[in-house]
């Protein structure tokens, strides 16, 4: 069985991110079930309709998301389809919906990455999403009004749903596919970065409109003893989900105004404690940038260099313990975020913790 450590830096997309959040747990749970069940396992003869767990297993084993990636590609996953452009209405929300593409452009223009070496993921299909979400929930997204409410972008309600599917939901289904593929790549190569994903507020049955605490995965995975959740978050801001907090294995609360030095000290202590409490087979690192000083929702005072140090510490922790690590870029509400993420990835490359050029 696969043990998974979730390190959430309480970062998350935004209220608009709720759309992103819709598909979150596919990214963790699909991977978990795949590696809990060999592709060579024979399906039992009983009725799939009668045994939902068998049906779930069948969906996972038949998924196209886990394709083999050639060595000519590096373990960085991105698609231009991640970026959202929808007649300008994406600008009604503070989240930078072109952040992912700008991160990759910085990496390419700085000479750290070649476009041809980036891995293009597949879109998570409805069958993939049904591994976690219910049919009723997915069908509810066929209503543009429902999507508009979840995204907190009211004009979305007035568009035909086929446009909403194409312009709003499709990009996030691609990012889900990217996270699932990143988990496979990490187990094969030691690390992988999805320049997207990290929708840690969504649960199996609803789109969640909160900000930073990773209450989505806490709610869905809290009773799974194969999963250890380390959540580093600001307890004084939205979502204030006290019910979900009881599922956190290791709480690291960082109050509004926390400085870089204090934040990094708490991170060092947290990683040391976690290493004594759990021996995972995979780390899923939700590396959002709403910890940055000046972020209007995060309310911390972490410098760009502090974000770089944070990421390096987490990668070194995983490297020293020989644990595969998946990094997801998650939230952050400042235009500066894309540059900060790119700088951090470049530092990981310079430190020899990742390889951004094919062997």
Domain total in the chain: 1
Is 70 exceeded by the pLDDT of residue 264? yes
141, part of any domain: no
Q: How far apart are CA 240 and CA 109, in angstroms?
A: 40
Structure tokens at 351: 């430190």
pLDDT at site 48:
53
Active site residue 212: no
Q: What is the mean pLDDT of residues 175-200?
A: 95
Flag whether 112 is in a domain. yes
Is 146 within a domain? no
pLDDT of residue 237: 80
Position 267 in a domain: yes
Determine which of 84-88, 125-129, 243-247, 302-306 has the lowest per-residue pLDDT on average. Answer: 243-247
Which residues form the domain of 75? 19-28+70-88+95-122+175-351
**Domain annotation covers residue 227:** yes
What pLDDT score does 11 carry?
Answer: 39
Within a domain: residue 61?
no
pLDDT in tens, 14-31: 333 333 333 333 344 434
The confidence score (pLDDT) of residue 44 equals: 46
Pairing of strands 227-233, 250-253: parallel
pLDDT at 12: 39
Q: What is the mean pLDDT of residues 306-331?
A: 96
pTM, two decimal places: 0.83
Query: Is 105 within the bounds of a domain?
Result: yes
What pLDDT score does 320 carry?
Answer: 96
| pLDDT of 106 | 98
Q: Which of 13-17, 50-54, 330-334 has the lowest mean pLDDT?
A: 13-17
Residue 254 has pLDDT above 90, yes or no: yes
Share of the chain above pLDDT 90, in %: 60
pLDDT tens per residue across span 100-144: 999 999 999 999 999 999 999 999 999 999 998 899 999 999 999
Quote the CA–CA distance of 311 and 64 in Å, as a whole number. 30
Residue 323 has pLDDT above 90, yes or no: yes
Residues 6+ apart with CB under 8 A from 150: 18, 19, 22, 207, 209
State the catalytic residue, choosing from 93, 200, 201, 217: 201
In this prediction, residue 177 carries a pLDDT of 97
Question: Does some domain include residue 64?
Answer: no
Q: Mean of the pLDDT values across residues 70-94?
A: 90
Average pLDDT for 55-76:
95
The domain that holds 109 is classified in CATH as 3.40.800.20
Q: Is the pLDDT of residue 71 over 80?
A: yes
Per-residue pLDDT averaged across 204-209, rounded?
61
Q: What pLDDT does 256 receive?
A: 95
């Amino acid at each position: 069985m696969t043990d998974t450590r979730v390190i959430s830096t309480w970062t998350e997309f935004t209220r608009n991110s709720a759309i992103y959040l819709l598909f979150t747990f596919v990214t963790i749970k699909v991977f978990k079930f795949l590696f809990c069940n060999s592709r060579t396992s024979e399906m039992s003869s009983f009725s799939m309709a009668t045994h939902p767990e068998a049906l779930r297993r069948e969906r996972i084993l038949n998924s196209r998301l886990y394709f083999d990636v050639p060595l000519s590609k590096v373990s960085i996953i991105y698609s231009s389809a991640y970026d959202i452009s929808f007649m300008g209405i994406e600008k009604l929300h503070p989240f930078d919906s072109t952040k992912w593409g700008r991160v990759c452009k910085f990496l390419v223009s700085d000479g750290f990455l070649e476009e041809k070496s980036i891995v293009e993921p597949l879109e998570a299909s409805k069958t993939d999403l049904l591994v976690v979400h219910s049919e009723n929930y997915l069908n509810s997204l066929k209503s543009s009004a429902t999507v508009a409410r979840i995204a907190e972008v009211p004009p979305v309600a007035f568009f035909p749903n086929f446009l909403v599917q194409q312009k709003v939901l499709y990009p996030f289904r691609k990012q889900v596919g990217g996270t699932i593929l990143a988990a496979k790549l990490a187990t094969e190569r030691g690390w992988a970065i999805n320049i997207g994903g990290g929708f840690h507020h969504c649960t199996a049955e609803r789109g969640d409109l909160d900000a930073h605490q990773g209450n989505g995965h806490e709610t869905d995975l809290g009773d799974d003893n194969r999963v250890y959740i380390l959540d580093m978050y600001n307890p004084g801001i939205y979502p204030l989900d006290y019910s979900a907090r009881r599922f956190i294995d290791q709480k690291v609360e960082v109050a509004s105004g926390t400085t870089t030095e204090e934040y990094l000290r708490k991170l060092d202590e947290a990683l040391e404690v976690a290493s004594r409490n759990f021996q995972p087979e995979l780390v899923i690192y939700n590396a959002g940038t709403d910890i940055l000083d000046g972020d209007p929702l995060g309310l911390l005072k972490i410098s760009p260099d502090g974000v770089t140090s944070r990421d390096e510490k987490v990668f070194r922790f995983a490297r020293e313990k020989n644990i595969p690590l998946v990094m997801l870029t998650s939230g952050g509400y400042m235009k500066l975020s894309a540059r900060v993420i790119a700088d951090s990835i470049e530092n990981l490359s310079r430190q020899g913790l990742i390889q951004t050029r094919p062997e």
